[in-house]
Amino acid sequence: MQRTSPGGSRIAHVWHRLRGRGAALVDAQRGHLFVWSPVCLGIGIGTYFALPQEPGFLGWGLIASAFGGMFLACLYTRLLVPILVALTLVLAGGLLAGARTQLVADPVLGFRYYGPIEGRILAIDRSASDKMRLTLDRVVLARVSPGDTPAKVRLSLHGDQRFLTPSPGMTIVATGHLSAPRGPVEPGGFDFQRHAWFQGLGAVGYTRTPVLAVHPPEGRWLVIHRVRMSISAHVQGILPGRTGAFAAAITTGDRSGMDLGTLEALRISNLAHLLAISGLHMGMLTGFVFGAVRLGLALVPHAALFWPIHKVAAHAGLAAGALYLALSGGNVATERAFIMVAVMLVAVLFDQRALTLRAVALAAVIVLVRRPEALLGPGFQMSFAATAALIAVFAYFRDRDGWRLPRMAGWVAALVISSAVAGLATAPFAAAHFNRVPHFGLIANLASVPVMGALVMPAAVLAAVLAPLGLSWVGLKVMAPGIAWILSVADEVSGWDGAVSHVPAPQAGVLPMLALGALFVILWQGRVRIAGVVPVIAALALWSVAERPVLLVSESGGLVGVMTAEGRALSKPRGEGFAAQSWLENDGDGASQPLAHERWQVDGAAFDVGDTRFWLETGRGARERALADCSRGSGVVITSADLGNRWKTAPCTLYDSGRLAQTGPLAAWMQDGKPVLRPTRKAPGSRPWIPADQ
C-alpha cells in the first residue's frame, strides 16, 4: 500500500481548498459573466494597438498554442473554463483589431504634393481654425498613378471661396498642398496618423486658391447626404444665427454653421455633449416616439385591450432611431448610440428588461466587433462609462424600497443623481482626452438637459412629422426658445470665474487602470467589488504626479518648448499652432501660443536644459549658423534647415529637418541632471498606418 508523504498531503489539502474557494467565487458570478465580454474584447484590442510593431504569424501561433494548453487544462478542472473563455475573448479582440486594420487599408501619400487636386465631395465640416473642410473621394492627382493615389483626402479651404457652394456628390478641382497624415506631436500623444488610417484618409492638406465645381452632385448613395444638407439649410433659413446652427447640428449632424466662440462656451460649461448626436439625443428621440406611440394606442380601447402596444411602440422607436441615424450622417458616435438604443428596444420586443448591464454589454460587443478602433476614442469610453454607471446606480436604488420618494421629489432627485453620476463617470475620460475639467458642468446640465428632453427634441420630432405638409417651421419655432436657453446657460456658466481647470495628460497606463478598477466595482458581484477602488485611487495618484517632458521639439525643427517655473516657454509666437497647442494642453496649461512665447527668455540661439547646452537655428541663414554651432563639438543643435547626412558624422548631436523627419518630434526627460532625448516616431512600416517609405 502506497503512502502519501506529509508534505504531499498538505499540498493536496491546500490545492483542494483553493479549488473549493475558486469554484465558490466562480459560482457567485454565474449569470453575470456575460457583462465581462466587452471588457475582455477591449483588453485584446487595447493590447493590439499598444504593441510596438505588428504581430506576425509566429506571434499569433504562440498565442494559439498557449490557448491550446489552457484548453487541455480545462479538461482536468471546470474551474478554468471561465478563464479560458475570457482569454479567448482577449485573443478575439486582438484578432478583430488586426483584421479591421487590414480591411481598411488604402494607399497613403508617400511625399509632399503640390498641384491640381480633383475629387468628389463626401463630407463638409469645419477645421479647428474655423475653415471649411472637404473630404473627397474619387481623387485624381497629377503625376500620381491610380494605385498610389489615396482613396480619400481632406482639404481645408483658405482664401476667397465665394465661387463655391459645396454639396455632397459635387466634383471639384483645386490647386493645393497634400501630405500624409502626421503622427503624434510628442511620445504618447494623440496619433492622428492612426486615426486617419481608420477613416480611410490617405492625405490631408489645404488650398489657398479658389475651388471650382466641375460636375454637379451625382451618386445615388450620396442622396441622403444631399438631403441632410438641404434640411440643414432649411433649418438655418428659418432659425438664423447660432440658434439655427445648433438646431441643424442636432438634427442633421451638420456643425459647419457653429462658430468657435459658441463651441468653446459649450465645452467650458460641459454642454458640448448636447451638440453631438449621441446616446442622449438618440435616447430622447426614441424614448419620446416610444412614449407617444404607446400613449396614443392606449387611448384606443381596442388597441389597448388586444394589441401588444409596447411592442408596436418599440418598433416605432426603432424606425425613428434608424431614420435619425440616416439623417445625421451615420457618423460613428450616432451609430454607436443607435446600437445601444436598438439593443434595448429589441429587449422590449422579447419581453426583457431594457435597461440592464447585459444590454449595455451586448451593445458594447457589437460596437467593438464592428469598429475595434472605437475603443480608443473618447466617445466610446464616455458614453459606455456614463450608461453603465447610471444603470448600476439606479439599480442600487431600485433594490432598496426605503429610497422611495414622492413623484415630484423623485423626479428632481433622479435628475440630480443622473447628471452627477454621468458627470463623475465621464470626467476622467474627458480630462484625459481634452485636458480640462469643467467645474460647473453639473449646474449647467441641470439647467439645460431637462429643456433638451422636454422641449427641444419633441419639437424636432414635431418638425419632422409636419415637414411633408410644409409646416416644419412650427416645430422649429417651438424649438427655438429651448435652444436659446441652452446657449444662454452655456454663455453664462462659461463666463464664471474658475469655470474650468486644465489638467496634464496622464501616463500611458493610467486610464486603462482606472477603467478596469471602475468596471470591477460595477460588474463584479459581492463585497469583493470594493477592491476595484484600489486601482482607481492608484491611477489617480499616478496621474497627479505625471512628469511632463522638460523639452519638446517639433518635427520640422522650427518650434521648441522648454518647461519653466511659469509653464512651457515656446520659441515662437505663431506657426506650427497644432503642435504648440497640443503641447500646452498636455501640460495642463491654458495659455495661448503668444502668451507661452512671452516666457521664452532666450537671448540668441543658445539655451540650457539641465547641464546640456542647446542651439536652435531657424529662418534664413540657419544652415550656416547650425554648422558653426555644431563645430563647437558639444551640446545639441536643432535646426529647421536640411543638412543632408552630416548629422551622422557631426562633432555635436545634430537634429536637422531631415533627421527629424525620421525620428519625428523629440521629447526629453531629465535623468542624472541631463536631458535624455526620445523620438516619437516608431520604425517605418512597424505598423500598417506608418508608411514603410516614411
pLDDT at residue 1 in the model = 45
Angle in degrees, CA 345, 350, 353, rounded to 5:
65
- 550 φ/ψ angles, rounded to the nearest 5 degrees: -80, -20
pLDDT mean values, one per 10 residues, the chain (694 residues): 56 62 64 88 94 79 72 65 84 91 92 93 83 92 92 92 84 94 91 93 94 81 77 91 92 85 90 80 86 90 87 92 82 81 88 82 92 92 89 80 65 80 89 91 89 88 88 93 95 92 92 95 88 95 93 94 94 91 94 94 88 91 91 89 87 91 92 90 81 67
Determine the Cα–Cα distance for residues 364 and 519; give it in Å rounded to an integer.
13
Determine the Cα–Cα distance for residues 168 and 411; give it in Å rounded to an integer.
44
Could you tell me which of 426, 497, 155 has the C-alpha nearest to residue 278?
Answer: 426
Determine the Cα–Cα distance for residues 294 and 466; give it in Å rounded to an integer.
20
413-446 burial, b at 16+ Cβ within 10 Å, e below that, comes to: eeeeebbebbbebbbbbbbbbebbbbbbbbbbbb
Residue indicated by cell numbers 426658445: 481
* Helix 378-398 / helix 357-370 crossing angle, nearest 10 deg: 170
Residue indicated by cell numbers 469655470: 499
Residue indicated by cell numbers 483658405: 158
Length of the chain: 694
Domain 113-218 - what CATH class? Answer: mainly beta
Within 13 Å of residue 121, how many CA atoms lie on the same side as its CB? Answer: 31
**What does pTM read for this prediction?**
0.87
Domain ranges of the chain: 11-104, 113-218, 233-502, 509-545, 551-679
Cell numbers at 365, concatenated: 460587443
Residue indicated by cell numbers 466617445: 379
pLDDT at residue 8 in the model = 58
Q: Enumerate the β-bridge partners of residue 501.
A: 437
Quick count: other Cβ atoms within 10 Å of Cβ 181? 23
Q: 172 burial class (0-12, 13-18, 19+ CB within 10 angstroms)? A: buried
The secondary structure of residue 521, as a DSSP letter, is: H
Secondary structure (H, E, C), 550-598: CEEECCCCCCEEEEECCEEEECCCCCCHHHHHHHHHHHCCCCCHHHHHC
Determine the Cα–Cα distance for residues 569 and 546; give it in Å rounded to an integer.
19
195 within 8 A of 204, measured Cβ to Cβ: no
From residue 214, give the alpha-carbon distance in Å to each of 151, 169, 217, 223, 229: 19, 11, 10, 19, 20
Secondary structure (H, E, C), 438-458: ECCHHHHHHHHHHHHHHHHHH
Determine the Cα–Cα distance for residues 49 and 687; give it in Å rounded to an integer.
9
Sequence-separated (6 or more) residues with CB below 8 Å from residue 180: 108, 109, 110, 193, 202, 203, 691, 694
